[in-house]
Amino acid sequence: MEELLKLEKTKEEINLLSPLTWAYIGDCVYELYIRTILVNKTNLKPHKLHIETIKYVNAKSQAKFLENIQNKLTEEEKDIVRRARNAKNHHLPKNVEVQEYKLATAFEALIGYLFLTKNYERIEEIINENIN
C-alpha cells in the first residue's frame, strides 16, 4: 500500500484532472473509509456489513452529506464541488434524480481530490461529520 501511495502527481497536475476523475477515485476511497469504519465499530457479518455500507454509499446519501457540510467547506473545496457538479457526465443511473446524482458526484470528487492531494485528515473530518 505504501508503494501505491508513493505514486503521485503534483498539485498542479491534480488540478488539471477532470473532476470526474476525482470522483472516480473518491468513490472507492469513500467506500473503503465507510467499510473500514463499519468493520472497526461493529461485529457484523459480511452481508450485514454490505447492507450497512450501502446506507452511506449511494447517491441519495452522498448528496445529503454534501448538503450537510456545504457551509463548512473551504473556498478551494467549494470550487472543487462546483467544478464536479457542473461536469458533463453522460452516465446517469435510472433510480436517481439528476440533481442528486450531480451532488453525489461532487461529493465523491471532493473526497477524491483530497485523497490525491494527501489531505487524509480532512477526508476523515468530512466523513466523521456525516457518520457521527
Residue 1, pLDDT above cutoff 70: no
Interior angle at CA 79, CA 103 and CA 20, nearest 5 = 55
- Higher pLDDT among residues 1 and 26, named by residue: 26
CATH class, domain 11-131, is mainly alpha
- The domain segmentation of the chain, as residue ranges, is 11-131
The one catalytic residue among 19, 27, 101, 113:
27
User: pLDDT for 58-111, tens place per residue?
Assistant: 999 999 999 999 999 999 999 999 999 998 876 777 788 889 999 999 999 999
Please give the mean pLDDT across all residues of the chain. Answer: 91
Q: Is 79 a catalytic residue?
A: no
Alpha helices by DSSP H, listed for 2-97, are 2-6, 11-16, 19-41, 46-56, 59-69, 75-86
